[in-house]
Amino acid sequence: MDLYPLKFKPILKERLWGGTKLKDVLGKPIESDITGESWELSGVQGDISEVSNGALAGTSLKELIAEQGEALLGKSVVARFGSEFPILIKFIDAKQDLSIQLHPNDDLARERHNSFGKTEMWYIMDADPGAKLIVGFNKNVEKGEYIQSLEEGTLLDLLNYEEVSEGDTFFINTGKIHAIGAGVMLAEIQQTSDVTYRVYDFDRKDKNGNLRELHTGLAVDAIDYEQKDDFKVNYPSNKGVANTMVACPYFKTNFLDLNDSMHQDVSKRDSFTIYMCVGGEATITNDWGSTSIKRGETVLVSASSSFVDINCHGARLLEVTI
C-alpha cells in the first residue's frame, strides 16, 4: 500500500462554549455558530477519522492500522499501543470560557474508565485582547480547602490565570486543574482519551435548560493540589530547523518555522509523524506522494517513510511523533 501523506475529514463538535473561528479563520466546513472543536486525527471509539485525500479516501484510520499497523505507526508504537492510535489532534475555538476541569492519570483512567489518561499540550493560534487560560492553582491548596471552595462558590479565587497571545504554548500534566478562556483558538495535542472531570461550569445550562454534569467526587483524588510553575513552554523558534517544544512519554512536538524547503531523513524514526499547520502553507512529500497543507490542516506521514520534504515560501508547523 502506498502510504502517501494522509489528510482526514475533520470531525466537528458543537459545544456550549463554541464559536465561529474554526469556520471564519480556519475555513472548516461548518454551519453552526457554536462549533468548539475540530478533531483532525482521532482513534477515539465512535469518532474514528477517515482519509479525505488520494486513493485511500474513505478509508478509516482503524482500517489503515489493521492493514498497515507497523508500516503506518512504527514497530515501537505498535509494541506500546497495539492497534490503538495513541494521539488525538484537535483545533479548539472558545467563544466562551470552558468549564474548570482536569484529567486523570493513566492508572486512574485505566482503573475507572478502561482508558488512557490525558496529558495534553496547547499552542495558541489566535487570542482576543486580554484572553486568558486557567492553569493550576495560585498557591498550594489542601484537599479540604478545595472542597470548601466548591461548597462556597469561591474556587475561582484559588486558580492561576495566564494572559495569552499567538505562539504561547502550554503543557498540561494529568491532575492539573485548567480551562481555556473565552477568545482563545488553539491547537491541542493529547493522549487518545476523552476522559474529563468537570468541577465547575459557571452554573451554565445546556440547550435543554439542564446544568451540565459535574464530576466532583471523581476529581478529588485526581487533582494535583500543589502550585507548580511547570506549564508554560519556553521553546526556541530558530528558522529552518526543528525546535523542541515538548518531549514527554506520550508525544514529542517540534516547532518548524520555515521560509523555504526543508528535507528530513526519517528512516530511523520508527514513528508516524503528524504535521499541524498553524501558519502559512506548504507541500508535504514522502516516498509515495505529496499533499498540500495550509493553516488549520493536519497531515499524517507513515512510519515507513524514509524522508519528508517540506516545500513552502512561509509556513509554521507543529511536528508530532511518539
> What is the count of structural domains for the chain?
2
- In the structure, what pLDDT confidence band is assigned to residue 142 with cuts at 50, 70 and 90? very high
Do 145 and 40 share a structural domain? yes
CA dihedral 63, 289, 297, 314 (to 10 degrees): 160
- What's the predicted TM-score (pTM) here? 0.95
* Domain contains 172: yes
Residue 163 grid cell: 494572559
Cα separations in angstroms, 250 against 126, 154, 191: 26, 34, 7
The span from the first CA to the last CA of the chain, in angstroms, equals: 22
Do 266 and 212 share a structural domain? no
Do 187 and 135 share a structural domain? yes
Neighbours of 138 (CB within 10 A): 12
The backbone region for 261, taken as left when phi is positive above 0, alpha when psi lies in -120 to 50, beta otherwise, is: beta
Do 135 and 44 share a structural domain? yes
Average pLDDT for 132-146? 97
* Domain contains 3: no
Query: pLDDT higher for 210 or 226?
Result: 226
- Establish whether 198 is a catalytic residue: yes
Task: Name the catalytic one among 15, 198, 204, 269.
Answer: 198
Whole domain around residue 202: which residue ranges?
11-220
Q: Domain containing 248 — which CATH number?
A: 2.60.120.10
* Domain contains 4: no
Q: How many residues does the chain have?
A: 322
Cα separations in angstroms, 128 against 100, 123, 165: 20, 15, 8
Residue 104 clears pLDDT 90, i.e. is over it: yes
* Domain contains 231: no
Tell me: the pLDDT tens digits for 33-60?
Answer: 999 999 999 999 999 999 999 999 999 9
Do 252 and 133 share a structural domain? no
* Domain contains 233: no
Do 215 and 166 share a structural domain? yes
* Domain contains 1: no
Do 186 and 103 share a structural domain? yes
* Domain contains 203: yes
* Domain contains 236: no
Residue 206 clears pLDDT 90, i.e. is over it: no
Q: Do 279 and 259 form a contact (C-beta atoms < 8 A)?
A: no
